[in-house]
A and B are shown apart, each in its own frame.
Chain A
Amino acid sequence: MNGAMLFPWVGIVLCAMGLFAFIVHRHLLRRLLAFNVMGSGTFLVLVGLAQDGRGVDPVPQALVLTGIVVAVASTALALVIFRRWYRVSGHARLPEDV
């Protein structure tokens, strides 16, 4: 197992950890962190899998670059919505979460 092939496995672990935290936590900010960790895991799987000993593959790298920018934009939008929700309700969690 060379170095490039190690990172997809790390990505799988990150995905699973992120999903677990996303389900278990109720605080919306923690869910956002979990969502981001899960995204990072996905990116690692995408890029690491494409270059396991076959050299650099620019296509998945370009896709992940696009993905990172979209991820930060969605995180920023989620924070805007979260702050507005907190402002009107005083809660940091959703009401339907038991």
Chain B
Amino acid sequence: MIRVALAAAACTTFAFALAVALLERPVPAVDLPAAVAGTLGASGVEHPITAVLLNFRSYDTLLEIAVLLLAVVVALALHEAQPDSPDRMGLDNPLLRAVIGALVPLMLLTAGYLLWAGATRPGGAFQAGAVLAAAGVSLRLAGVALPGFEPPRLWHAGLALGLAVFLAVGTGALLAEGGFLAYPTGWAGALILAIELALTLSIGLTLLSLYRLAPPNADDPNAAVDGSARDGRHGSEPVATGRGGAASSDEDEQIGMGGDSPSRPDASAPP
């Protein structure tokens, strides 16, 4: 109870401070929309947000794709350190397969359109990459094995492609124009489209890989270690794995998902 009261007090203070900051905010000294609109003609694209993302503030996007690559490298390292049992992902449902078969080409088309539309209207590499990842996740849910993952060389190259193309274009601009990511005049549109294409592939592949690199649902390491895992049906009496103690005192392990276990609210749920 004291914990909840303290948390409530802290959050009220936090909200109050934010509200004061909102009310007392300074008037911005620089008119950013006007600055963007004034230089939009030289940016190579006609949509202001794409221009900001890939020309005026391209460092942000460069570092963003680096962060994504870092996340997937961490997931890969964990995957190496803790191998999974064979992946038998996929719901074997013919209806799902038929629907996915009709949907995936449309999703690929949408991704391509979003990428192309990014130059002139809402759209761009991020949205296209997200749709691409969604298509990959749907295929995985339907149990369709995607090619290109098994010898991991091609897969890893695809993950790094976005950052590599971005860095190559930036370095090329540095050599040609004397400024990192300062696109030469007249080339900006084509270079931005090339970067966006690579970014789309890498973002889609990164999100899909982060989904693939989690331990699969069919995975049960206990089954091989201890036969009682096959008898114990529920996590309220998990088999001791490595830490030497069964965690029967944990009250919030069980979740109710319409299964045969009664759903139990968290002991720590706020009133």
The answer to A–B direct touch (Cβ < 8 A) is yes
Say which one of B105-113, B145-153, B185-193, B203-211 lies at the interface with A.
Answer: B203-211
Residues of B within 8 A of A (CB-CB), count: 62
The answer to whether residues A58 and B4 also contact, given A19-B14, A30-B266, A69-B64 and a CB cut-off of 8 A, is: no
Complex: chain A residue closest to B267, CB-CB:
A26
- CB-based contact B210/A84 at 8 Å: no
Whether A55 sits at the interface, judged by CB under 8 Å, is yes
Residues of A within 8 A of B (CB-CB), count: 50
Interface residues in B34-73 (C-beta closer than 8 Å to A) = 36, 48-49, 51-53, 56-57, 60-61, 64, 67-68, 71-72
The answer to whether residues A65 and B68 also contact, given A23-B10, A77-B74, A89-B243 and a CB cut-off of 8 A, is: no
- CB-based contact B22/A8 at 8 Å: yes
Q: What separation, in Å, do the CA atoms of A93 and B251 have in the docked complex? A: 10
Q: What separation, in Å, do the CA atoms of A65 and B67 have in the docked complex? A: 14
- CB-based contact B68/A70 at 8 Å: yes
> From DSSP, what is the main secondary structure of chain A's interface residues?
helix
The answer to whether residues A59 and B22 also contact, given A16-B15, A70-B64 and a CB cut-off of 8 A, is: no
- CB-based contact B235/A90 at 8 Å: yes
Whether B221 sits at the interface, judged by CB under 8 Å, is yes
Q: What separation, in Å, do the CA atoms of A88 and B215 have in the docked complex? A: 11
Which residues of the other chain, A, contact B130 by a CB distance below 8 angstroms? 69, 72
Q: Per a CB cutoff under 8 Å, which of B60, B71, B252 touches A62?
A: B60
Q: What separation, in Å, do the CA atoms of A57 and B48 have in the docked complex? A: 9
Complex: chain B residue closest to A77, CB-CB:
B71
- CB-based contact B49/A12 at 8 Å: no
Complex: chain A residue closest to B57, CB-CB:
A62
Which residues of the other chain, A, contact B242 by a CB distance below 8 angstroms? 88-89
- CB-based contact A80/B75 at 8 Å: yes
Q: Per a CB cutoff under 8 Å, which of B25, B124, B219 touches A87?
A: B219
Which residues of the other chain, A, contact B3 by a CB distance below 8 angstroms? 23-24
| 14 other A-B residue contacts (CB within 8 Å) besides A59-B36, A77-B72, A77-B210 | A15-B14, A15-B15, A16-B12, A20-B7, A20-B8, A49-B25, A59-B52, A68-B126, A69-B203, A77-B74, A79-B210, A80-B78, A87-B82, A88-B243
Give the A-binding residues of B (Cβ under 8 A). Answer: 3-4, 7-8, 10-12, 14-15, 18-19, 22, 25, 32-33, 36, 48-49, 51-53, 56-57, 60-61, 64, 67-68, 71-72, 74-75, 78, 82, 124, 126, 129-130, 203, 206-207, 210-211, 213-215, 219, 221, 235, 238-239, 241-243, 247, 250, 252-253, 266, 268-270
